[in-house]
Chain A
Amino acid sequence: MLTAAPAVILVLLVLGAALIMVGLQSLGLMPVFGEPQLSLNAWADSTSLLESAGVSVYIATLSTVLSAGLGLLIAVYALTAGRGGRLVAAVSAATIPIPHLVASGAIGLLLADAGFLARLFGMPEGFPQLVATQWWTAVILEFAWKESAFVALVILGSISRSAMALSETASTLGASAWQRFCHVILPLARLPLVVSGLVVFVYTLGSYESPWLLGPLAPEPLSVRAVRLFGSTQLSARPEAMATALTSVVIAVLAIAVGLLLVRRSGDRS
């Protein structure tokens, strides 16, 4: 118990102090200059704040759904396709250490106007714009690319041993590939899928690099809005940056609460 003290104290101190500071500054109680004065000015521009929150939740939701689907596909392929499956699993795992900043740059080189993908197709007239669109296509694809490998790794790490043995048994009992997927692998993968999906949602909600590099200038997700306001020279911007940051924390905590409910339910069922 005692050996945990340094880590616990560090986390409580840094996290607690940071959250208190964010809260106080968003209420004007810790101005950069001048007298502290309680005010809700930072929260007054609620349309812009809500719009940013909406953009963030949109990006995080689509990224999570795509990552979970593709990650499950990679994991199932790795478990069922023999040597080819092992190759896909190894290559997918090798992308895990690639930083999101690098991945964002790479997706930019791939998907930009006149990027590598457009050139591969001979730059046709109607090639869709993917970077800096109102649908955040490139941002979501970057998250899906990086996080599907993460989801696959979590699923494989937690079920590969049991899934292999059980699916072999099912196979000797005459189960088809589809039956093995539906009745053996999917029930086993449900818990790691929900847990990794939750991690992906919270991560993409708070991520800055990808929407900053690959997103349109407006509207901004919470992370980009907060960082821009934080760096602004206007005095009124600092509390607004903190209000934006606090909003992202609230959404993340709500998402985790919902996610844990799902985990508990899927834990009960299996």
Chain B
Amino acid sequence: MSLSRSEVSRRRRPRWRVRTVLPLLLGLALLIWIMLPLVPVLLWSAAGAWRAPDVLPSSWTADAALSLAEPEVLMAGVRSLGLGLSVAVTATVLGGLAAFGLRGPTPGGSPASTRLIGFVMLTPLAVPPFALVMGSNVLLLGARAPSFLGVLIVLTVTALPYTTYMFVTALASYEDRFEAVARTLGASPAQVVLKVRLGLLMPAIARAGFLAFLVGWSDYITTVLIGGGQFITLPLLLGSAASSTGGEQLTAALSLAMIVPPVVLLILLARRGARGRTSS
């Protein structure tokens, strides 16, 4: 005990500081990196006049937010929602079925053919969307498919790798014994599928459906090329606002209109997931 108390604290303090301040600074830097791009969007969406050197808008207005209530924008929102939900339904159902089919061992299915199917379901990831759209466009035009159906088909193919592998990972830890128990307790086959299987797979269904919804909700290039500018969704309005000069307010308002619904959906899913875990 030859060191006085002040000497001890002098020795300790620098280490203590570096150890707490450095992680704090890194965390702050990461938060700034993640949040900074959203700040001008929020500011512009409510900005009236905002001239060049000013850091903040000089006046505020709800004009941009109100412009979202125009019939043209509302219809685009309805179309985007319809497209997102349609892709969610088709890609989730087809992906779920595909994942069940990939689940070995099955009668008549060899490991090689299972691997081949798994490979085929991943191939859409390797083809850039614009190439897929350009190739299928001629066929869809030839088949005189309505543009909504054409966009839906192409986007379903784009979303299938995600939904399929969401179900493949969920089924890897799936317990068949629950279904067997339900059957021995007298459940009909329909009850087993509806109550046991769908119930147990609900988190995977929600995740897969959410991802597929995002594919339809946020698509730009497929809707532009196949829809030919006739099928106007929110991304198309946003694309034209963002590529024109002086469209900052509208760009910001449309951006928020595109961000809010999926983020709300994500939070709802996360809360339901958390509740499901605590109740089980």
Residue of A nearest to B24 (CB): A84
Residue of A nearest to B56 (CB): A119
B97 touches A3 (CB 8 A): yes
B136 touches A18 (CB 8 A): yes
Which chain A residues border B154 with CB–CB below 8 Å?
14
B160 touches A248 (CB 8 A): no
Rounded to whole Å, the gap between the CB of A162 and the closest CB of chain B is 15
Q: Using A94-B266, A106-B38 as known contacts, say yes or no to A15 and B123 having CB atoms under 8 A apart.
A: yes
Q: Is A155 located at the chain interface by the 8 A CB criterion?
A: no
| Dominant secondary structure at the A interface | helix
A97 touches B120 (CB 8 A): no
Rounded to whole Å, the gap between the CB of A69 and the closest CB of chain B is 12
Residue of A nearest to B241 (CB): A105
Interface hit among A46-54, A180-188, A199-207: A199-207
Residues in A43-84 with C-beta less than 8 Å from chain B? 70, 73-74, 77, 80-81, 84
Q: Is A167 located at the chain interface by the 8 A CB criterion?
A: no
A7 touches B134 (CB 8 A): no
- How many A-B residue pairs lie within 8 Å, measured between CB atoms? 245
Rounded to whole Å, the gap between the CB of A254 and the closest CB of chain B is 10
In the bound complex, CA of A5 to CA of B117 (Å): 9
State which of A8, A17, A105, A207 has its C-beta within 8 Å of the C-beta of B242: A105
B157 touches A14 (CB 8 A): yes
Which chain B residues border A190 with CB–CB below 8 Å?
none
Q: Using A5-B101, A21-B139, A245-B134 as known contacts, say yes or no to A77 and B26 having CB atoms under 8 A apart.
A: yes
In the bound complex, CA of A61 to CA of B21 (Å): 34
In the bound complex, CA of A246 to CA of B125 (Å): 15
Which chain A residues border B220 with CB–CB below 8 Å?
99, 101, 208-209
Interface hit among A34-42, A110-118, A261-269: A110-118
B218 touches A17 (CB 8 A): no
Which chain B residues border A196 with CB–CB below 8 Å?
none
B31 touches A102 (CB 8 A): no
- Greatest chain B CB density within 10 A among A91, A97, A223 is at A97
As a 0/1 sequence over residues 227 to 267 of chain B, the CB contacts with chain A under 8 angstroms (1 = contact) are 00000000100110111000010011001001100110110
State which of A21, A81, A213 has its C-beta within 8 Å of the C-beta of B27: A81
Q: Is B85 located at the chain interface by the 8 A CB criterion?
A: no
Rounded to whole Å, the gap between the CB of A231 and the closest CB of chain B is 8
Which chain B residues border A81 with CB–CB below 8 Å?
23, 26-27
B98 touches A8 (CB 8 A): yes
Q: Is A173 located at the chain interface by the 8 A CB criterion?
A: no
Residue of B nearest to A84 (CB): B27
A15 touches B37 (CB 8 A): no
B217 touches A149 (CB 8 A): no
In the bound complex, CA of A94 to CA of B95 (Å): 25
A18 touches B101 (CB 8 A): no
Rounded to whole Å, the gap between the CB of A101 and the closest CB of chain B is 5
B157 touches A77 (CB 8 A): no
Pairs A–B under 8 Å by Cβ, sample size 18: A3-B97, A4-B98, A11-B157, A11-B160, A18-B127, A21-B135, A77-B26, A84-B27, A98-B258, A101-B235, A105-B241, A110-B36, A149-B34, A206-B128, A227-B221, A230-B134, A245-B130, A248-B130
Top 3 A-B residue pairs of the complex, sorted by shortest distance between their CB atoms: A206-B128, A4-B101, A18-B135
Contacts A4-B121, A97-B210, A106-B41 supplied; 13 other A-B pairs, CB < 8 Å: A1-B109, A8-B101, A10-B160, A11-B124, A15-B132, A21-B134, A101-B220, A102-B255, A119-B53, A223-B130, A242-B134, A242-B135, A252-B128
